[in-house]
Amino acid sequence: MSLQFDITAQDPNTGARAGTLTINGKGVQTPVFMPVGTVGAVRAMTPWELERAGASIVLANTYHLSIRPGEQLIEKAGGLHKFMGWKQLLLTDSGGFQIFSLPKVKVSDEGVSFQYEVDGQKVFLSPERSIQIQNQLGADIIMAFDECVPYPSPYQKAEEAVRRTTQWAKRCARAHTQENQTLFGIIQGSTYGDLRQRSVSELLNIGFQGYAIGGVSVGEGLEIMKEVLEMTVPQLPVTPPRYLMGVGLPEDILASVERGIDMFDCVIPTRYARSAGLFTNRGRIRLTHKKYKRDFYPIEPQCGCYTCQHFSRAYLRHLFLNNEMLASVLASIHNTFFYQNFMRQIQEALKKEKFASFQKDFLSGYEIAPKGPSLKRQWQEKSDSDDFLT
Amino acid sequence: MSLQFDITAQDPNTGARAGTLTINGKGVQTPVFMPVGTVGAVRAMTPWELERAGASIVLANTYHLSIRPGEQLIEKAGGLHKFMGWKQLLLTDSGGFQIFSLPKVKVSDEGVSFQYEVDGQKVFLSPERSIQIQNQLGADIIMAFDECVPYPSPYQKAEEAVRRTTQWAKRCARAHTQENQTLFGIIQGSTYGDLRQRSVSELLNIGFQGYAIGGVSVGEGLEIMKEVLEMTVPQLPVTPPRYLMGVGLPEDILASVERGIDMFDCVIPTRYARSAGLFTNRGRIRLTHKKYKRDFYPIEPQCGCYTCQHFSRAYLRHLFLNNEMLASVLASIHNTFFYQNFMRQIQEALKKEKFASFQKDFLSGYEIAPKGPSLKRQWQEKSDSDDFLT
């Protein structure tokens, strides 16, 4: 198998660690953040801009790609790397997370049937089918097909999902035959410690190259997510990489790195960017606010990104107020750079055995924005209470 | 004054010529095409992408910028170059063309009053005010405030506009005092030869550093535009640069270069790009058409642009069908490169005294798309009869 993970630094006081993940001759430093390229494109960003912003691995969504343009087309194009012009590492999810958020989903041990949200066509997805699609897409890392339950879920429902996730994980491992792809298992169990432990031990019995923690970032909030990590990560062996799915904000990432997570993905940096939500070391700002009208400083004065090197807050605000696409482009460049730079700082701090002080310093300067109960709900609020057009 | 224009090649058989236009130490090769950056941004393109696509001068719209964010803000930001992060040449129009296309416009010899289309605020624009705004914006080339009549216009109306345009041109020349900005006059006269001649001679009496031909690209079509050029350009002295405003398609540009035009601007390459209209040497293609579904070739196999070097038609079509912004970004990069490369080919042909054969070769391979009576109307048709979602 082709994955190699070398832990290069281990924080003496917490579970935090830095490492190098190498697959198919392509390496990334961990802890790593993966920008999300849902349909085979990180929205508004060219692969060139992505690389320039420091990204070295991108996540794409199996659910979306299988429906449009279809895995056959992407396979015929020479695989997803070639199709989307991305030469570095790629990870595809299994499609499970998206499907379980759809209405009218029918789950059986065999698999999941649902209606495609755009044209209502009936689709059936099973572990075998998910792996087959991911094989055809050809990402470096592929994910087992799991059952993701919402938060909160009653114990029985969560237990049923763990049972099914294990069964499906076995079928995924059996179905997976592509040597140049690395399969990760996904741990479920909602917020129940014994279920998380059971899920871990059953997946370890099957044996995967990496382990993801699923069923988080579904509205439980940071405090409960920390608890889930604390009941789950210590059960995992040291060596394989650990991936926390769908997380998150900088404060979430810090807390998760502290608890031993190596890999992250989230739509937040690019999605917020398109709504003028920009990350800075002092917290997130809403660039359309009138206080930036005559603000000729960059988003982040010390930032090395293309956007901050060339444009002022006043200019970006002007572009947002004119609904000019370039606003989304430039904001996505900044937020992606911010996240990648943030991960580099974490890696550096770990190598210098200064993770605790970095975490403390970062959080003391960073104002955490108030957060609703669900990220999902937040994303739907396109405009907020700020005075958008003044 | 700071403009210098050196004609470096003159076609022996037509009016076509190549040259170098230098203003404020910044030079461009002519015939030149200026991408349009209406609100101080060429839509969907970073200045870096614009330069990489070969652009060396950009047009911005005084009308839009004066209303939002306002010329005071841009002046305070250090001028439009700095505000929009564009170091090369900039040209601002006078605002006239936009205003005369608005409803409820009241024209008097003093100036024009109109309601701003977004919030209904009443605005008054005069020659002095237009120059003042353009001074504050600080572009390298600024335009006189003219009266632009629609096509077709009765003789009397066109005559009145010529009279007023001359009067206003005098007031613009008087109002203009910025030494580092170069003022161009605009010739009006609709489709009437004697009016065009009168407009030319009256503007020559005032004396400008360059002469623009206005009142074209208002729905008259290529044949009538050629006639307008033939009745106008021969009246102009050889030395100053000649700028045909708002033109156009590749075939329009060739016909206009042939008739002695040096400068062009048009929203077509970027606007068409956003609707999946892509320029190739064989004609324009609509990338959302189903025939490109499994087409793994670049838009233009021999093209050197970033988009063609990295992405297939099938991928771009997929992005367009998903309404993914990156589609517009990549298509705008290609079309801008196509136009700049087209102008470079024209320049080269002129230097080698092969303009006629280049024109013939280009047009013999290039299928001209059927065109409605008005470009404006075409632009409003966002989707066409092509099968967009198949």
Question: pLDDT tens digit string along B350-364?
Answer: 999 999 999 999 999
Q: Are residues A352 and A214 both part of a single domain?
A: no
**B48 has a chain A CB within 8 A of its CB:** yes
Among the three residues A266, A294, A312, which one is the final residue of a domain in this structure? A266
Say if A5 falls within a structural domain: no
A338 & A199 share domain: no
Tokens read off for A67: 């429906």
Number of inter-chain CB pairs under 8 A, A vs B: 102
| Helix (H/G/I), strand (E/B), else coil: A130 | helix
CB contact under 8 A, A76 and B40: no
Asked whether the predicted pLDDT for residue A378 surpasses 70, the reply is: no
Mean pLDDT of chain B: 93
Q: Is the pLDDT of residue A389 over 70?
A: no
**Domain-embedded: residue B123:** yes
Contact call for A310 and B47, based on CB within 8 A: yes
Instruction: Average the pLDDT over A221-236 and give the result.
Output: 97
Say how many C-beta atoms besides its own lie within 10 A of residue B150's C-beta.
15
**pLDDT band at residue A386, thresholds of 50, 70 and 90?**
very low
Question: Per the CB < 8 Å rule, is A43 touching B325?
Answer: yes
Of A379, A84, A333, which is closest to residue B327 (Cα–Cα)? Answer: A84
pLDDT of B2 higher than 90: no
The whole-angstrom distance between A44's CA and the closest CA on chain B is 5
The nearest CA of chain B is from the CA of A79 a distance in Å of 12
Q: Are residues B105 and B250 in the same domain?
A: yes
Query: What's the pLDDT band for B28 if we cut at 50, 70, 90?
Result: very high
Query: At B95, is the pLDDT very low, low, confident or very high (cuts 50, 70, 90)?
Result: very high
Query: pLDDT averaged over chain A?
Result: 93
A115 beta partners: A122
Any B CB within 8 A of A387 CB = no
Question: Where in the sequence is the domain holding B185, given as residue range(s)?
Answer: 4-272
pTM above 0.90, yes or no: yes
The beta-carbon neighbor of A325 closest among B78, B293, B325 is B325
For residue A210, which phi and psi values (nearest 5 degrees)?
-160, 160
Total residue count of chain B as it appears in this document: 390
| Cross-chain Cβ contact A77/B315 below 8 Å | yes
Which of the four pLDDT bands, split at 50, 70 and 90, describes residue A1? Answer: low
Provide the percentage of residues in chain B whose pLDDT is more than 70. 95
Residue B286 shares a structural domain with residue B241: no
What average pLDDT does this structure show over A233-244? 98
pLDDT at B224: 97
How far apart are the C-alpha atoms of B89 and B245, rounded to whole Å? 17
Q: Using the beta-carbon criterion (under 8 Å), do A325 and B328 form an inter-chain contact?
A: yes
Predicted confidence at residue A219, as pLDDT, reads 93
- Which residue, among B132, B237, B204, B136, has the nearest Cα to B174 in the 3D structure? B132
- Taking the C-alpha atoms of residue B17 and residue B30, their distance in angstroms, rounded to an integer, is 8
Catalytic residue IDs of A = 93, 265
Instruction: Please indicate, yes or no, whether residues B217 and B311 belong to a single structural domain of this protein.
Output: no
Q: Let me know if residue A6 belongs to a domain.
A: no
Say if residue B162 is in the same domain as residue B48. yes
Which residue of chain B comes nearest to A315, CA vs CA?
Answer: B83
- Which own/partner pairs from A153-161 qualify as long-range (CB within 8 Å, at least 24 positions apart)? A153/A190, A155/A192, A155/A195, A157/A190, A158/A188, A158/A189, A158/A190, A158/A191, A158/A192, A158/A195, A159/A192, A159/A195, A161/A188, A161/A189, A161/A190, A161/A215
pLDDT digits (tens, 9 = 90+) for A275-302: 999 999 999 999 999 999 999 999 999 9
Asked whether residue B384 carries a pLDDT value surpassing 80, the answer given is no
Tell me what the mean pLDDT of segment B326-331 comes to.
98
pLDDT of A25 reads: 95
Say which residues have a Cβ less than 8 Å from residue A74's Cβ, sequence separation at least 6.
A40, A65, A80, A83, A136, A137, A138
pLDDT of residue A123: 87
How do residues A75-126 score in pLDDT, each as one tens digit?
999 999 999 999 999 999 999 888 888 888 999 999 999 987 777 888 899 9
The reply to whether A210 falls in a domain is: yes
Number of domains in chain B: 2
Cβ pair B371, B70 in contact under 8 A = no
Which residue, among A49, A288, A325, would best test binding to B if mutated, counting the most B CBs under 10 Å from its CB? A325
Average pLDDT over residues B224-252: 98
Residues of chain B found within 8 Å of residue A43, distances taken between Cβ atoms: 324-326
- Checking DSSP bridges between strand A4-10 and strand A17-23, what pairing results, if any? antiparallel
Q: Is residue B390 part of a domain?
A: no
The amino acid occupying position A224 is I
What pLDDT does residue A96 have? 87
Residue B291 lies in a domain: yes
B260 & B280 share domain = no
Residue B349 has pLDDT above 80, yes or no: yes
Amino acid identity, position A60:
A
Nearest-CA distance from A329 to chain B in Å?
7
pLDDT at B303: 98
The predicted pLDDT at position B382 comes to 35
φ, ψ at A28 (rounded to 5°): -135, 150
Q: Which residue has the tokens 């070097």?
A: B309
Q: What is the mean pLDDT of residues B136-159?
A: 97
Domain boundary among A266, A289, A307: A266
Domain co-membership, B351 together with B258: no
Alpha carbon of A295: minimum distance to chain B alpha carbons (Å): 9
Query: Residue B166 has what DSSP assignment?
Result: H
CATH classification at residue A121: 3.20.20.105
Verify that B91 and B34 share a domain, yes or no: yes
Question: Would residue B387 count as lying in a domain?
Answer: no
Give this complex's ipTM: 0.94
Distance CA(B332)–CA(B338), nearest Å, equals 10
| Distance separating alpha carbons of residues B36 and B284, to the nearest angstrom | 20
Of A266, A298, A327, the one marking the end of a domain is A266
* Cβ within 8 Å, pair B39-A311: no
Distance CA B258, CA A28 (A): 55
Residue A11: the pLDDT is 98
Residue of A nearest to B297 (CA): A77
Query: pLDDT (tens digit, 9 = 90+) per residue, A109-121?
Result: 999 999 877 778 8
pLDDT at B23 over 70: yes
Confidence of residue A374 (pLDDT cuts 50, 70, 90): very low
Contacts of B21 (CB under 8 A, 6+ apart): B3, B4, B5, B27, B28, B29, B30, B32, B241, B262, B263
Contact by Cβ (8 Å): A60, A139:
yes
Does residue A316 sit in the same domain as residue A248?
no
- Same domain for A291 and A175: no
